[in-house]
């Protein structure tokens, strides 16, 4: 088993599938290796919250489809990923133990690739944070340093891949939730263009189109191959995108010299650490050596408008989510068992007017037009993915005084006064201070990726983000493959 375990961790998902296809190993053996690894390290990282070992063994008994990842162990994020007969809590005590009655469209497509699903991964409540510390399931820890966060909201998936449990796991991104864990865990993470990956059948779009789902991977080619397998509209898609699924093949194509603009200026006006700046500067040097034209740009997006646009989306959808749960459970809004901080967000959403929400949505289009202006001059935009190395577990917890204030606001229904006081803007600025670079691409719909090219002196990974014009996911993947070849990261393993 030891030799097989070593072989397992030396391969990406396509490599493991090839071993199965050639008969060098069986899918059953790979599953047992994955389970053994999970049992060994999950108590330390708390990445998997719902083991589905028997479900996976039954999958193999019935036979998995002959796809690009046939026989490869796989994990689903416990948010949006409906798998018939298995729990889907979305990180919330209110939904703990609720069983899905059908597969989501994306899960159906994952399954058609031949992956063997054997568990679900941790996520913050409703995926609302850039850390993964839900009260109901506890904190997920970073395999590179167990005192640090793996990021969020796909932190469970990121930790599982970085810890060597699986080579690839599902993820979703509504404000950076693929790219932030990729940056924190030394992985590759692509947020696809808006509408490229379906969200049906129960929703035509998530968060007004801000959410895109995909995977976190160790290799670029795994991400490209999975995107080939899952792209395309379903019956619920509001804006069908027609694309030829050739992302994997495109990695072998020569990449022209690109003009890339970079900035290390926080999009919301906060501090950016020296390490985060060094990550971008190191990446810029590498890009120049590969023949690309790289230059600093004068960044002039309005930070206040960006925070306002994103926070209004955030509040409104939390209110809608809690309201939907209340209806499903036959409860009143205030009775739904969510975390106190989530309840504040929900009530803030309830006191916002429809006009205020639409005004904020207008800003989305304004940002999209501004980014279009940037892309007239630059093929890609390069930034840090996050503003510092991964923060400590518990760093975002409210102070005792803060907790008391949250309870007072909820108890006395002071949310409208809180909104008018300016305290909400300050709260949102503080919440985005360490992750200020990722939300913009969710509002504009652009594809964006985090690439692991830098490690700090303390041994923590720190990714670099690239944004491309809408629909140019292929260009991002091609560049990522070039960077991966020039400065390989696959062999770097977390010291767990």
Q: Which of 49, 283, 78, 42 is nearest to 161 (CA)?
A: 42
pTM over 0.85: yes
Whether the link from the prior residue into 270 is cis, omega within 30° of 0, is no
pLDDT tens, position by position, 115-142: 999 999 999 999 999 999 999 999 999 9
Q: Which of 216, 273, 219 is nearest to 460 (CA)?
A: 273
CA angle 451-438-484, nearest 5°? 5
Q: What is the mean pLDDT of the chain?
A: 94
Q: Which helix (H) or strand (E) holds 74?
A: strand 73-77
Q: Give Cα 149 to chain centroid, integer Å.
A: 14
- Kindly report the number of other CB atoms within 10 A of residue 62's CB atom: 7
Please report the pLDDT score of residue 79 as a whole number: 97
On the question of pLDDT at 1 being above 70, the answer is no
145: tokens are 């340093």
Task: Report the relative pairing of strands 464-467 and 448-451 from DSSP bridges.
Answer: antiparallel
36 catalytic residue (yes or no) = no
Catalytic residue among 89, 92, 104, 153: 153
**pLDDT band of 377, cuts 50, 70, 90:** very high
Catalytic residue among 157, 170, 177, 450: 177
On the question of pLDDT at 66 being above 90, the answer is yes
Please report the pLDDT score of residue 426 as a whole number: 79
pLDDT tens, position by position, 222-280: 999 999 999 998 888 887 776 766 999 999 999 999 999 999 999 999 999 999 999 99
177 catalytic residue (yes or no) = yes
pLDDT tens, position by position, 445-484: 999 999 999 999 999 999 999 999 999 999 999 999 999 9
411: tokens are 């108890």
- CA dihedral sign, ordered 130, 135, 140, 146: positive
Domains within the chain, CATH numbers bracketed: 2-259 (3.90.1300.10)
Q: Give Cα 208 to chain centroid, integer Å.
A: 17
Please report the pLDDT score of residue 401 as a whole number: 61
Catalytic residue among 77, 108, 120, 350: 77
Please report the pLDDT score of residue 420 as a whole number: 74
Taking residues 97-103, report their average pLDDT: 96
pLDDT tens, position by position, 399-453: 776 776 777 677 767 677 777 777 777 788 888 999 999 999 999 999 999 999 9
């Amino acid at each position: 088993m030891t030799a097989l375990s070593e072989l397992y961790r030396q391969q990406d998902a396509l490599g493991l599938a090839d071993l199965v296809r050639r008969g060098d190993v069986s899918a059953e053996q790979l599953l047992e290796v994955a389970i053994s690894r999970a049992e060994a390290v999950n108590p330390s990282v708390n990445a998997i919250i719902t083991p589905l070992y028997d479900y996976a063994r039954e999958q193999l008994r019935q036979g998995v489809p002959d796809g690009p990842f046939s026989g490869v162990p796989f994990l689903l994020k416990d948010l949006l990923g409906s798998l018939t007969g298995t729990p889907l809590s979305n990180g919330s005590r209110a939904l703990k133990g609720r069983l899905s009655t059908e597969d989501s469209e994306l899960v159906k497509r994952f399954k058609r690739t031949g992956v063997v699903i054997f568990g679900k991964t941790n996520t913050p409540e409703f995926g609302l944070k850039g850390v993964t510390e839900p009260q109901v399931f506890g904190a997920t820890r970073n395999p590179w340093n167990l005192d640090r966060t793996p990021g969020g909201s796909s932190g469970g998936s990121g930790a599982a891949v970085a810890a060597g449990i699986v080579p690839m796991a599902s993820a979703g991104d509504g404000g950076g939730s693929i790219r932030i864990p990729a940056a924190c865990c030394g992985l590759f993470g692509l947020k696809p263009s808006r509408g490229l990956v379906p969200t049906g059948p129960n929703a035509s779009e998530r968060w007004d189109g801000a959410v895109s789902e995909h995977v976190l991977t160790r290799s670029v080619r795994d991400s490209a191959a999975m995107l080939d397998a899952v792209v395309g509209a379903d019956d619920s898609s509001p804006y069908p995108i027609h694309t030829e699924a050739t992302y994997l093949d495109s990695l072998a194509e020569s990449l022209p010299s690109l003009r890339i603009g970079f900035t290390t200026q926080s999009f919301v006006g906060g501090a950016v650490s020296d390490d985060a700046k060094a990550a971008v500067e190191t990446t810029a040097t590498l890009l120049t050596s590969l023949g690309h034209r790289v230059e600093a740009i004068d960044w002039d997006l309005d930070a206040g408008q960006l925070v306002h646009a994103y926070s209004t989306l955030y509040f409104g959808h939390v209110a809608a989510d809690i309201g939907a749960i209340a209806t499903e459970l036959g409860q009143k809004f205030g009775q739904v068992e969510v975390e106190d901080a989530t309840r504040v967000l929900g009530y803030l959403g309830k006191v916002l007017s429809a006009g205020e929400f639409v005004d904020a949505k207008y800003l989305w289009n304004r940002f999209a037009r501004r980014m279009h202006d940037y892309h007239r001059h630059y093929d890609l935009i390069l930034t840090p993915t996050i503003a510092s190395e991964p923060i400590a577990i518990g760093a975002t917890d409210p102070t005792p005084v803060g907790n008391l204030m949250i309870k007072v606001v909820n108890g006395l229904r002071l949310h409208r006064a809180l909104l008018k006081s300016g305290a909400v803007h300050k709260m949102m600025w503080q919440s985005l201070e360490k992750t200020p670079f990722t939300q913009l691409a969710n509002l504009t719909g652009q594809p964006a990726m985090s690439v692991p090219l830098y490690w700090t002196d303390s041994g923590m990974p720190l990714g670099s983000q690239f944004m491309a014009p809408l629909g140019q996911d292929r260009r991002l993947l091609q560049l990522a493959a070039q960077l991966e070849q020039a400065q390989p990261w696959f062999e770097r393993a977390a010291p767990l």
